[in-house]
Chain A
Amino acid sequence: MTTSPAIEFCNVTMRYRLPDRRIPTLKEWAIQRLTAKLRYNDFLALQDVTFTADGGETLGIIGANGAGKSTLLRVAAGILAPSAGEAVVRGRVAPIIELGTGFDPELSGRENIFFNGALLGRSRAEMRRRFDEIVEFSALANFIDMPLRTYSTGMVARLAFSVATTVDADIYLLDEVLSVGDESFGMRCQERIERFRRDGGTILLVSHNLPTVERLCRQALWLHEGRVMARGPAPEVVGQYHAGAFSPSFAGRFEGG
C-alpha cells in the first residue's frame, strides 16, 4: 500500500491584485471608479509552486524576505486560496504562523488556553485533556487564573508556545517561531520540534536561520520571488542558496538571508 504525501502542492500560483494605491474610503473608491483612474498591479507571491512533503518529513523552507515563504504556509493552512493550482493537505494541521494569535488580555491564562484551542478547531474536552501538560510546559501554574494583561511579554510567549505545540496534529506549519524569545526558550522550541519528528509529524519550517534549518531538516526548499529554485537534501539546498543569493547576478535584489 502506498501512502499519499501529507502535503502536495501542484502548480500553486498566488496572485495578489493590488490597486496602484490604497483606496481607504468608499467615497474615494466611487470617485476613482467614476473617473476610471483606478489601475491594478498584479503581484505574484507564488508562481507555479510544485512540491510534495511525505508524512513524517521535516521540510525547511528558505529564501529571502518576500520570497513567498509565509504565503506558502498560508496556502498550506487553508488561510489563503490559491489563484491557480491546487494544494492538498492530509492530516490535522497546527499552523503556528505567529505566537500569541488571538490571545485576549482580559481573559485569564486558563480561558485563553481554551480559546486558542478553539481557534485551532479543538474541542473543549480535548483541551481539558491536554490542559495540565500545557500549563506544566509553560511553567505558569501560579499565574494561570490571572488575566493575561498582568503577564510579562516573556510569559505570554511561553503560554502561546505551549498551547500552539501541545495540540494533537499531524502537520505543523512553523513560521519563524524559533527566532522569538531568549535562548532557553529557543532550546525548548527545538526540543518540541524534535518530539514532533519522533511522533511522526510532518513539519514545514520557515526560517532565516540556516544553521537551524540544516540541523533540524533533512530536506529543504528554496523559494525565490515566488518560484521554487531548489528542493532536495538540506545541506545542498542551503549551499545553493548561499551561492545563488550572494552571487553578483542576485546582488541588490536580496536583503540577505
Chain B
Amino acid sequence: MVSQEPEFEAALPRPVMRNAAGLRPSVLEEARDVAAFSHLLANLVRRDLTVRYKRSVLGFFWTMLNPLLLMIILSVVFSTVFRFAVKHFEVYFLSAYLGWTFFAQTTTGAMSSLAWNGALMKRVRVPKVIFAFSTVLSGLANLGLSCVPLFAIMFIVGAPLTPALLFLPVSFLILAVFVFGVSLGMSAAAVYFDDVAQMYGVALMGLMYLTPIFYPIEIIPQKYLWLIRLNPLVYLFELARAPIYKGCMPSLHDVVISAACAVVAMVVGTTVFRRLAPGFYRHL
C-alpha cells in the first residue's frame, strides 16, 4: 500500500510516500519497511522484557524459577505416580517443554499484541508485521534465558552436557521461524474474529497432549503413531531434545522435516496476514 523511496532535493533527503489504490508492497519491500522501523522493534522488545521483569519481586530470576518449580512438580507426578521409565525425566521433559512454552506463549502473545496495538495502527503508520515479529524476538530472548536454569538442572542431576548443545541455536532458530509463521496467521485471524483466541486456547491444550513433551513417544500405541507423526512440533522439539537429552546431533531427517515445516508455516502465515491486513482497520 505504501512505498517509500528516497528523493534528494537540496541537502536533506526528503522521503516520498506514494499511497495509491491497489499498490501492494512486495514481501521484500515490507521486510525493508520493518528494517526502517528497527528502532520501534528494539523498543517493543525492550518494553516486553522490562515490563515483564520489572514488575515481579523476583524480577529476572522468575524466568529461571518458573521452569524449575514446574520441573519439580512434573517430575514428582510423572516419575512417581505414572512411572514412566525415563532416565533423567526432568531433562527429558524440559528439553521439549522450553520449546513448548516459547511456541504457546509467543503465538498467544502475538494475537493479543496485534489486537492491543490496533488503536496505535489507526494513528501512526507502522508496519503491521512488527508486532508479531517483536513478540517472537522477545520470546526467543526468554527461551535463551531459560536455558540457564536448564543447564544448571542438567549439571545437578548429572545429565551429560555435550558439544552437541552447540546445535541448539540452530534448533531454536528453525523453531522461531515456524512460530513466526503461526503467529502471523493466527494474529491476523484473531483480529477478524473474537472467538479465534478462545478456540486457539483449547486447540493449544489438545496439541500439548498430542506432543510427546512429558511422556515418552514409546507409550503411544503403534496404530496411532501416524497421528503423532503429523504433528510438526514433534520434529521441531526433537531438534532440541536430541542435543539436550540424548547428547547427540538431531538426525538429518528431522532437521529437513522441521525446516520444511518452518518454511510452510512462514509462507502460509505471510499469505494469510497480507491477505487480511488491509481490512484490519474495520475490526480494530
Which residues on A are within 8 Å of B, measured CB to CB? 3, 13, 16-18, 23-27, 29, 74-93, 95, 97-98, 101-102, 104, 106-107, 111, 114-115, 117-124, 170
Complex Cα distance A107/B196, Å?
A: 30
Residues of B within 8 A of A95 (CB): 123-125
Q: Which of A17, A76, A81, A124 has the most CB of B within 10 A?
A: A81
* Interface residue stretch chosen among B34-42, B105-113, B143-151: B34-42
Assuming A88-B17, A101-B123, A106-B55, is B47 touching A81 (CB within 8 A)?
no
Assuming A86-B19, A114-B43, is B125 touching A79 (CB within 8 A)?
yes
Query: Besides the contacts A17-B282, A26-B193, A101-B119, what 8 more A-B pairs have beta carbons closer than 8 Å?
Result: A27-B195, A29-B193, A78-B19, A86-B19, A86-B21, A88-B19, A92-B15, A101-B123
Which residues on B are within 8 Å of A, measured CB to CB? 1-2, 7, 9, 14-21, 23, 36-37, 39-40, 42-43, 47, 50-51, 54-55, 117, 119-126, 189, 192-196, 199, 278, 281-282
Q: Are A118 and B39 in contact (CB under 8 A)?
A: yes
B12 to chain A, nearest CB (A): 8
Q: Are A101 and B120 in contact (CB under 8 A)?
A: yes
User: Of all chain B residues, which has the CB nearest A97?
Assistant: B123
Q: Are A118 and B37 in contact (CB under 8 A)?
A: yes
Q: List 8 A-B contacts (CB under 8 A).
A: A79-B121, A79-B123, A79-B125, A81-B19, A91-B14, A98-B123, A101-B120, A102-B124
Residues of B within 8 A of A26 (CB): 189, 192-193, 195-196, 199
Residues of B within 8 A of A123 (CB): 39
Query: Which one, A23, A74, A84, contacts B21 given CB within 8 A?
Result: A84
Q: Are A85 and B39 in contact (CB under 8 A)?
A: no
Q: Are B21 and A77 in contact (CB under 8 A)?
A: no
Residues of A within 8 A of B121 (CB): 79
Q: Are B17 and A118 in contact (CB under 8 A)?
A: no
Q: Are B195 and A90 in contact (CB under 8 A)?
A: no
A218 to chain B, nearest CB (A): 23
Query: Which one, B18, B199, B282, contacts A88 given CB within 8 A?
Result: B18
Assuming A26-B199, A91-B14, is B124 touching A77 (CB within 8 A)?
yes
Q: Which of A79, A88, A101 has the most CB of B within 10 A?
A: A79
Complex Cα distance A225/B47, Å?
A: 41
User: Of all chain A residues, which has the CB nearest B39?
Assistant: A118
The 5 residue pairs across chains A and B that have the minimum distance between CB atoms: A81-B1, A86-B20, A26-B193, A25-B195, A118-B40
Residues of B within 8 A of A115 (CB): 43, 47
Query: Which one, B40, B54, B189, contacts A119 given CB within 8 A?
Result: B40
Complex Cα distance A107/B1, Å?
A: 32
Assuming A26-B196, A81-B278, is B20 touching A120 (CB within 8 A)?
no
Assuming A25-B195, A26-B196, is B18 touching A86 (CB within 8 A)?
yes
A191 to chain B, nearest CB (A): 23
Assuming A24-B193, A86-B19, A170-B14, is B125 touching A77 (CB within 8 A)?
yes
Complex Cα distance A38/B18, Å?
A: 34
Q: Which of A90, A104, A118 has the most CB of B within 10 A?
A: A118
